[in-house]
Structure 1
Amino acid sequence: MSEEFLSQEEIDALLGGDSNSSSEEQKLEVAPFDFSLVEHIKKGGVPGLELLLERWIKIYSEEIRRLVPQINMVTKESVYITRFNNFMSKIPLPASYSIVSMKPLKDNFLLVLDSRLVFVVISVMFGGPAQPFKIEGREFTKLETRIIDDIVKISLSTFQHTWKDVYPVEFELKSIELNPALARIVSGNDRVIVVECTMDVDGYEAPFFFCFPQGMFLPIKELIFSEAVFAEKDPVWEKHLTKKLLKTELKLTLELTRKNFFLRELLSWKEGDEILLDISKDEFVKLYVEDKPKFWAKLGKIKDKYAALVVDMINGENNGGKREKSGTEPESGREKSGRISQGMGGSS
């Protein structure tokens, strides 16, 4: 009868009785997970920049065809936000990294040309098929570097032209790097806005990229992160606004001369006293608009009323912002009168 019963070891084996030891082994295999290592890709979120790029592609497509007539189409594939390290790790080598400043914005951005784009462009330019060369881990030659330089210059000149109607910027090509370690515009964990584009060269599609630091556009975030600024203008509202603007009232002040007096002299004044201004009709005086010097003028008279003839504009604060010498004349005035007035203010 004893042979019909199972031993305790056999029962534990069938029922998983040694569960404590196996669970401990499973627990040892579990390791903490670092969520910071996961690539976070956020698509969209920069509608203003996307609309700007759509405008740029139309201009760029026409200009780049003058260099490479075999280019059929340039398209914007996607715009997304990711970490800088994640973006750089996905670019196959060799690649061209153009570091560009965008004044008055502080940070630099990257224009990255994939090696497949460079090789296929060179191939079709010299009568070859629309296929990239075999890379074999080599760097770009002098000829390939020259083609890269031409593509980059056309890209930046057309991109700057597109910005002209939105925000005045000036692009400056800092350098073209072939080593990704020398193209670090931000730290590895910083977020960047990546614009992925493709260029169709005789049926072969090759990628290139823009990489902008996310904080680069903070001074103009209302332009980049909103599409309202690119909305079409309402001609009726524009006409109404112009009409209102032209009816705005402004205070004009004509500064005739400027003099210094002691307090005891002012206290001795009485009704009927005369103050000599020592100014002639040929001298230039300043015309103020809302307490800001804007024009040079000459004194005159129309019928029985005094008048001022505007002869020039005052450019900048250095020329007209300081009121110590109100009679400082423009160059044309020095030739005509040769005199500089001292002055005291009067209102028109």
Structure 2
Amino acid sequence: MADENLTEGELDELLKDVELTEEQKNAQMQEQSLQGAPAKTFNLGTQERLVRGHMPTIETVHERFIRLLRITASNLFGTLIEVKTSATTTCKYGELLSKHSQPSNINLIKLKPLRGTGLLIIDPNLVLYTVDNLFGGGARFPVSIEGREFTATEMRIVGTLLKTFFASYQEAWAPAYEIECDHVSSEMNLSFVNIAMASELMSTTTFTLVIGEASYEIDLCIPYMMLEPIMDILTSQTQGMVAEHDHVWEETLLQQVEAVEVEVVANLGNKTMLMEEIIALKSGDVIPFPYSAEIPVTVDNVPVLSCRYGIYNNQYALRVEKLLKPDASEYIKGANDGK
């Protein structure tokens, strides 16, 4: 009788919680929570790039680079220099602008064949020290760069520093990936340098030159998009640095190959016969073979020599006439070894 007093809608409301499964209840609660949440704006043009994590190859390159730069810089300054490096980090280009707000020596560089432009920011005090050192001053008198631009002489010294940096950096990269460093232009204020958008990710590394009690920083900033074409090389855990030419391994391999025994086959001739002719053969019959002046010699069915058949010291022998490539074409021994 109670059911007769309830409408169909009221019955559905009473049975709704009983019929829903646990997953349906969770989905319903999630839908209700989303209905009250405000919509978020999605801008395809300003999405940040995904960083794949640390780049072990970059770290290996920079370790090799500081060893090379320590030698070249010490030769340039005529004194022992210690070079340190920081871990490669990723930051937005806008953060980089705020970090280097003071006047600095900012050099736009290219790492060919990679597309894009990077930055090499040199501490202006390092430029002043280099000028004073090369002209015999010994950094005894403090000089300031504030309120003025670099002179022509100082810019020539910057060119010398860049050549020293580029030579060591290219050599450090060579085992992993061949690059060519090129100087595009120089500025003193990052506000005049627009190589990327403010939200663009940059890979930054700081190299510190310790000269006596003073230390000077050189910041290398490369846009992340510039490194993306070789990101598989940079992030590979097993890639590391490509091994240099191993002469010991080469000699060992050559000795092992030379010690391999192979079967050399010289086919003196062949003839095609019908089955009835073979059946008709009897003892004493003679089968004539076509004779060729040059006999191919094969190793595992691969022609390697062209020889002549004869007798040498009362023994049947073959005299080598030509050396052959695997495709049976002739080559002269010693001329690129048939390659």
TM range, smaller chain: 0.5 to 0.7
Question: Structure 2 residue aligned with 1:110, among 112, 119, 126?
Answer: 119
Deviations 1:82-103 (A, max 9, x none): 0112112212543222222222
Q: Give the conservation status (yes or no) of the 8 Å contact 2:207–2:219.
A: yes
Q: In 1, Cα distance between the equivalents of 2:141 and 2:89? A: 28
Distance 1:220 1:132, change over 3 A: farther
**AA aligned opposite 1:94:** P
Q: In 1, Cα distance between the equivalents of 2:86 and 2:163? A: 22
* Residue of structure 1 in register with 2:20 after alignment: none
Q: In 1, Cα distance between the equivalents of 2:209 and 2:81? A: 8
Q: Does 1:175 align with 2:196?
A: no
Q: Does 1:148 align with 2:153?
A: no
Q: 4+ residue runs of structure 1 moved beyond 6 angstroms?
A: 304-307
Q: In 1, Cα distance between the equivalents of 2:184 and 2:242? A: 35
SS in 1 for 2:147: coil
Question: Structure 2 residue aligned with 1:199, among 209, 212, 233?
Answer: 209
Q: Does 1:134 align with 2:144?
A: yes
Q: In 2, Cα distance between the equivalents of 1:163 and 1:207? A: 21
Q: In 2, Cα distance between the equivalents of 1:75 and 1:57? A: 7
Q: Does 1:310 align with 2:328?
A: no
Equivalent residue runs for 1:269-284 within 5 Å? none
The structural deviation recorded for 1:119 is 2.0
Question: Which is worse superposed, 196-205 or 67-76?
Answer: 67-76
Q: Give the conservation status (yes or no) of the 8 Å contact 1:123–1:129.
A: yes
Q: Give the conservation status (yes or no) of the 8 Å contact 1:130–1:203.
A: no
**AA aligned opposite 1:203:** E
* Residue of structure 2 in register with 1:76 after alignment: 85
Q: In 1, Cα distance between the equivalents of 2:233 and 2:141? A: 39
**AA aligned opposite 2:331:** V
SS in 2 for 1:228: coil
Q: In 2, Cα distance between the equivalents of 1:227 and 1:141? A: 46
* Residue of structure 1 in register with 2:34 after alignment: none
Distance 1:130 1:86, change over 3 A: farther
* Residue of structure 1 in register with 2:129 after alignment: 120
Q: Give the conservation status (yes or no) of the 8 Å contact 2:175–2:241.
A: no
The structural deviation recorded for 1:206 is 1.3
Q: Which runs of 5+ in 2 are unaligned?
A: 1-50, 258-304, 310-319, 325-329
Distance 1:110 1:130, change over 3 A: farther
Deviations 1:258-282 (A, max 9, x none): xxxxxxxxxxxxxxxxxxxxxxxxx
Number of matched residues? Answer: 217
* Residue of structure 1 in register with 2:227 after alignment: 217
Distance 1:71 1:186, change over 3 A: farther
Q: In 2, Cα distance between the equivalents of 1:212 and 1:131? A: 35
The structural deviation recorded for 1:71 is 5.2
Calculate the TM-score normalised by the size of structure 2: 0.55
Q: Which runs of 5+ in 1 are unaligned?
A: 1-41, 247-299, 314-348
The structural deviation recorded for 1:306 is 9.9
Q: In 2, Cα distance between the equivalents of 1:150 and 1:171? A: 14
* Residue of structure 1 in register with 2:96 after alignment: 87
Question: Structure 1 residue aligned with 2:239, among 191, 204, 229?
Answer: 229
Deviations 1:11-38 (A, max 9, x none): xxxxxxxxxxxxxxxxxxxxxxxxxxxx
Calculate the TM-score normalised by the size of structure 1: 0.54
Q: In 2, Cα distance between the equivalents of 1:145 and 1:221? A: 34
SS in 2 for 1:112: strand
Deviations 1:273-313 (A, max 9, x none): xxxxxxxxxxxxxxxxxxxxxxxxxxx95226996422567
Q: Give the conservation status (yes or no) of the 8 Å contact 1:195–1:209.
A: yes
SS in 2 for 1:78: coil
Question: Structure 2 residue aligned with 1:53, among 56, 59, 62?
Answer: 62
Equivalent residue runs for 1:252-331 within 5 Å? 301-303=306-308, 308=324, 309-310=330-331
Q: In 2, Cα distance between the equivalents of 1:178 and 1:226? A: 37
How many percent identity over aligned positions?
23
Distance 1:194 1:130, change over 3 A: farther
* Residue of structure 1 in register with 2:15 after alignment: none
Deviations 1:44-75 (A, max 9, x none): 72222122111011011111122212452111
RMSD, aligned α-carbons: 3.5
Deviations 1:124-182 (A, max 9, x none): 44324367522332111112111111001110111111111111222222223334344
Q: Does 1:101 align with 2:110?
A: yes
